[in-house]
Amino acid sequence: MDYQQCVPSTARTGLEMAARRPRASAHWGLLTWVLACAVTVVCLTKPVTAQYTTASLSGTVTDASDAAIAGATVTVRNVATGFTRTAITDSVGAYLFPQLPVGAYELRVELEGFTPYLQTGLELTVDRVATQNVRLEVKELSETVTVGGGAELIPTRTATAGQLVDEKQIVELPLEGRRPERLIYLAAGTVDLGRNACRICGHGGVYPGQETAGAGGAQLGQVNFQLDGTSNNDTYLNAGLPFPHPDAVQEFSVQTSNFTAEYGNAGGAILNVVTKSGTNNLDGTWFHLLRDGRLNARDFFAPERDELKRNQFGGSLGGPIVRNKLFFFATYQGTRVNNTPSGLIDFVPTDAQRRGDFSALSTELVDPETGRPLPNNHIPASRLNPVSSFFLDRVPLPNGPDGQLTYPGLEIVESENQFMPKIDYVAGRHQLSGRYFFTDFSRPAGIPGPADHILQARGGNAVRVQNISISYAYTASPTLLFNTTFGLNRQRGGSLSGAPFSFRDAGSNILGPQDMTLPFQAPPALNLSVSGGFSIGTSHKGDFNRGDFTIRQVVTNIRGAHELRVGFEIVRVANENINTFQTMGNFSFTGDLSGNALADFMFGRATTFTQGGGEFKDLLGTKWGFFFQDNWRAGDRLALNLGVRWDPYLPYYDRQGRVVCFQPGAALRSDRFPNAPEGMLYGGDSGCPVAGSDANWGNIGPRVGVAYRLTDDGKTSVRSGVGVYYTPPATHTMNPYTNTAPFAGTFTVNDVAFDDPWGSIGVPNPFPMNFGPEIPGPDVRFNDFNAIRGYRPRDFRIPQLITWNLRLERQLGESWVAGIAYLGNKGTFLPVNVQENAAVYVPGASTVANTQDRRIYPHFGPVTRTDSGANASYNALQWNIERRFSDRYSILANYTWSKMIDDADAANPFDRRSIGRGLASEDVRHNFKFSTIYELPTFNLTGLADKLLNGWQVNSMLIWQSGMPFTVVSGQDNAFSGNGADQADFLGGEASLGSGRSRGEQVAEWFDTSKFTVNQVGTFGNAGRNSVTGPGYFKTDFGVIKNTQLSSGVRLEFRAEAFNLFNNPNFAFPDANVSSPQFGRITATVGDNQRIIQLGMKLVF
């Protein structure tokens, strides 16, 4: 997909677009497809506002004796825009207004012989069916009965579980970074996976703060992020993209269980964000927020505060163009950041170790060449590798104990701009809305200068994200409505390398991108890691262009007690990548060869070396969804939500046929590339589908929900439901199947020399090869040594999640709601990676050097097969209490006690389930959230005293999560499988050291390291997967706001906020590598973890 014609030249980052092949045909082909679908939808139906952004209102009308009143005229009016809709009560006195724009409403009920009834103050919120029952009095006076207050707080028409976050919470709670999507974590059962431990780092997240929430016990990537009814998902990661800032958001809902058949493409949660619209009043804001490092605390491991300067500024304006018909809203926010981090930590060789002297170690080292012990742990000077010395000349000596080096990073400069215009048209039966959201972000790479060192090098990136939503609404009659939404979501940008030199410059005999037949000239990239020591990662030069088009159609027909909905959703996904991934190689020094990773580095002997030919993808795919939903008012107390959704999965495919199928042992050869080894087939070959795996046509997802009102007053309800959900995989999971020779091969070899990785092991150097965006001809050559990064079997299935829940809720007084719930789910067809070409252990004859000869298929390197045979289970008990804002304060609190088990990954490729089943990586046993808004009492004052003493409020948010589990690994390939994922041996007893220890003791040794040791030779280790729990997460954000009324309709707001008020250090995982000198030790915190102070002013008019 080529968006080049749509993107200003100033937005083009990464590789030169001129170097690409012509792509006009792809662009216009996809555009033609979208237009054809849109025309078809318009021709078949009359369109309306998106289902995902609306609310519903229902109720019954009775007389003083509680007898149903049929034929009453019920009218709702949006007080901000004048939008009205009318319905007539049916034979049982019921009325229903589906799909109303969210906002404040009045409800009027009239019937000859009865006094007219007017209800004010109805707040209708997204994804919620509000209930407002009405009792009419016999007419005695010519006046209207007016009642104030909102609808019932307990949902009695839907079984969906979730949480509404309203405008007041969005704009007034202390919100770090002004990212409203962060408030998803106020909902019960949601888990901040990125903060507790970054599980998706390195998977290609391109925008800061992309949300990777866990919800309802679903695995990572099973949350569907929606913005005004259109996708706001990064399909490369199945993660959320940035949302507009708080002043642009009206409200949002988080559905965490038993959502109806209209919603698909995720099993964990649906996040629906609704942006603001203009009204009949001209309203606006202006704001400026400031952070300064001098006001902040320092990071737990940093010697001093970061040098932070951060400014965030902008405003919004909305109002009428034509009163009661045409409205506008527009907003802008800019962010500028300059920061120099002060507490980066690595562990580097001491002066003695740089001279080869490791005598201070208690571990006996061996010579990698002979396997014999090194005398006195001394490496002869003649054996010190010159490439290693080149790097160490650019790495400072340690300035702390045990080789610890604490140093400042290079200055980070960030710039972000976002703006959003929106137009709404409301006239009679028609509603039209169009919204465009634009945001871009840039962070230049950090390239060390002469006065800096190589550990300070870091990559950069520049990204532009755009989201368009167009919806048109038509109400054919009070009982027939049509809904159509068109959306476009796209991301374009590139990564930037921060390497000041290349491995080749350092003396390593590596042919890099400058020697390959690539369509661009790229700067160098450096990637190496020394286990338990230091690492260098400068990113690589790259460009991506991805997004999706969405068309959604819903028809709603009210037939008596049934609200019937039928519709479809089509999401066309495109993903184009071109970059220098792995072209300069990646060295890993683990200590397998000498017994110590730093000693391996000094010898210049890497355990593994990986080099590739770049990454070139041109993926297309379509996510289809068809649904039927019947919301049935089965009685005065009982409501049933019955639905079914069909989500056929057609795998993503590369337009150029870049996909590999692997049929080991089969005497099959490719028709496309006859020189390919036996068993390697490609998309389009006989036996290899164009996408590498077959379509899943049978993804039927029934949904059943029950809502029962226990009491006559409607204040107690029992709700339950069960549903089946499917989640298409993220497109990055296609990387292993497309990054394969002859397209862009990636090769991994073992036990290589730093200065000559290919020549040192006698394997033919596969570089340079004709890698690039152009597909080679059928006569392309293949090496004797071939690598298949991965493949999927033809019968691959996408994940299925079956969820169920039971909840009891009670309204207490006029504003409080309390509830308790049980939730469970079962995941099947979950992806799991299995190493199909592991080396077989031969007792007494296995070495790292002969790994390749011992592989099951010696002419191939590692081959990862992605199966869909894993399973997961989740059980949770939730408690919640909420007080909707009234009488100056609101409270929201919930607690989840849960357990999640799966068998989705393991170390042993020959017997995956032997130790693979255990706590899921997303398991968070205890999860508590609390938030409050409290407006302090006012005094009857005037003048200056009134300005100073009145108008104060305090706001706070608290999140506490217990730790996530992790696996203790050996750090040695003692299984000699070439897999490099051996687990440790567990010696028995209790690994936890318990509570009550000081922070210093926890940091020095998080768990009892004496209970673990390196696995026995020829085994994969017996330590259970995810058997140790990591540090928890606790954070309190607090804000003080002072509102001063300057004049009628004009208010000045001053706010002071403290993020992580108590400066509680939230630690990252400890080093879990038995072979690491830092084993069991914690050396970092997660995120911007220190207390940060923010000051700001805001003008509201």
pLDDT tens digits, residue range 138-180?
876 556 666 665 667 788 888 888 899 999 999 999 998 999 9
Convert the pLDDT of each residue in 3-51 to its tens digit: 332 333 333 333 333 333 334 344 434 444 444 444 444 444 433 334 4
Residue ranges for the chain with pLDDT beneath 50: 1-51, 196-204
pTM of the model: 0.88
pLDDT at position 787: 64
Neighbours of 206 (CB within 10 A): 23
Residue 270 domain-assigned?
no
Residue 748 dihedral angles phi and psi, to the nearest 5°: -125, 130
* Tokens, residue 453: 């060192």
- Beta-carbon contacts of residue 1090 (< 8 Å; ≥ 6 apart): 296, 297, 298, 299, 300, 302, 305, 306, 1060, 1063, 1065
Neighbours of 39 (CB within 10 A): 10
How far, in Å, CA of 352 to CA of 358, rounded?
7
3-state secondary structure of 911: coil
Convert the pLDDT of each residue in 940-970 to its tens digit: 888 888 888 999 999 999 999 999 999 999 9
Largest CA distance in the chain: 109
3-state secondary structure of 386: helix
Residue 1028 DSSP class: E
Residue 24 domain-assigned?
no
The CB-based long-range contact list for 936-941 (8 Å cut-off, 24+ gap) reads 936/888, 937/888
Residue 137 domain-assigned?
yes
Residue 64 domain-assigned?
yes
How far, in Å, CA of 76 to CA of 237, rounded?
42
Convert the pLDDT of each residue in 73-93 to its tens digit: 999 999 888 888 888 888 888
Residues 1044-1069 as b or e (16 or more Cβ within 10 Å = b): eeeeeeebbbebebbbbbebbbbbbb
Residue 223 dihedral angles phi and psi, to the nearest 5°: -120, 130
| CA end-to-end span of the chain | 44
Residue 194 domain-assigned?
no
Q: CATH number of the domain that 57 lies in?
A: 2.60.40.1120
**Residue count (the chain):** 1101
Residue 138 domain-assigned?
yes
Convert the pLDDT of each residue in 997-1045 to its tens digit: 999 999 999 999 999 999 999 998 999 889 999 999 999 999 999 999 9
Residue 107 domain-assigned?
yes
pLDDT at position 142: 53
3-state secondary structure of 852: helix
How far, in Å, CA of 506 to CA of 509, rounded?
9
Asked if residues 264 and 571 have their Cβ atoms less than 8 Å apart, the reply is no
pLDDT at position 5: 29
pLDDT at position 148: 60
How far, in Å, CA of 442 to CA of 459, rounded?
12
Residue 141 domain-assigned?
yes
Q: What value does the mean pLDDT of the chain take?
A: 87
Domain encompassing residue 99: 51-147
Amino acid in the structure at residue 417: N
Number of domains in the chain: 1
Give me the torsion for CA of 957, 180, 329, 428, rounded to 10°: -90
pLDDT at position 151: 63
